[in-house]
Amino acid sequence: MLGDRLREARKQKSLTLTELAKQLGVTTGYLSNLENNRQEPSLPMLRALSEKLGIPATMLFAEEATDEVVVLRKKERPSIKFLNLGQECEVLTPLAWRSAQPPEIEVLRLSVPPHERITTEDVSMDRDECIYVLEGQLEYRYGNEAVTIAEGGSIFIPMKTGHYLFNPGQTPTVILWINKSTIGG
């Protein structure tokens, strides 16, 4: 909470309530009320506190991390099938639509058979994508151009870039497909 952040910042500056109150021209009781969340500071006071404590005012209101760490064991991870994908994807992040606080990214693991496209049609995503090739190779095709990404390589694809992905090899290609969640972020 705000009071806790103010108290912590004051202590990091090695200031007593009395010293800070004197610098700000307020009473120690007022600062004590702020630190104990019994009173809200005015906007000018927030600016003054921010300056004296050397922290951005926005950081005073940053949300607390309330999410729990989620471990998805191999046998517990769900698989999903998108309408335009030929294969099922193994979901490596919590499912956004099942979470009260959806994750901001989605990470999918996908195996692409030899000589097959990942999607049944060209795609142009409304969010950035990053693909990492775990095994095999992947061909990124856009217009009349093609770029091959070998095992261990990755590609960043900006949003609204029309393309399709193809496995040109003789063995399955395994990729990690990372993008911003359509629900969480």
**Contact call for residues 103 and 92 (beta carbons, < 8 A):** no
According to the model, what pLDDT value does residue 100 have? 52
∠ CA 97-99-101, rounded to 5°: 115
Strand blocks (E) in the chain: 79-80, 89-91, 105-112, 129-135, 137-142, 145-150, 154-157, 164-166, 173-180
According to the model, what pLDDT value does residue 92 have? 85
According to the model, what pLDDT value does residue 88 have? 78
Q: What is the dihedral of CA 173, 126, 79, 172, to 10 degrees?
A: -10
Structure pTM? 0.58
Contacts of 8 (CB under 8 A, 6+ apart): none
CA distances from 6 to 10, 15, 147, 179 (A): 6, 11, 52, 36
Cα 44 to Cα 24: distance, rounded to the nearest angstrom: 11
**Domains recognised in the chain with CATH numbers:** 2-61 (1.10.260.40), 74-180 (2.60.120.10)
According to the model, what pLDDT value does residue 185 have? 44
- In DSSP terms, 133 is beta-bridged to 175
User: Per-residue pLDDT for the chain (185 aa), expressed as one digit of tens each?
Assistant: 788 888 888 888 899 999 999 999 999 999 999 899 898 888 888 888 888 888 776 666 665 555 567 777 888 777 777 666 667 788 888 765 455 556 778 888 999 899 988 876 777 777 888 999 999 999 998 878 889 999 999 999 888 888 888 899 999 999 998 987 655 44
**Contact call for residues 1 and 62 (beta carbons, < 8 A):** no
Helix then strand count (H, E) for the chain reads 4, 9
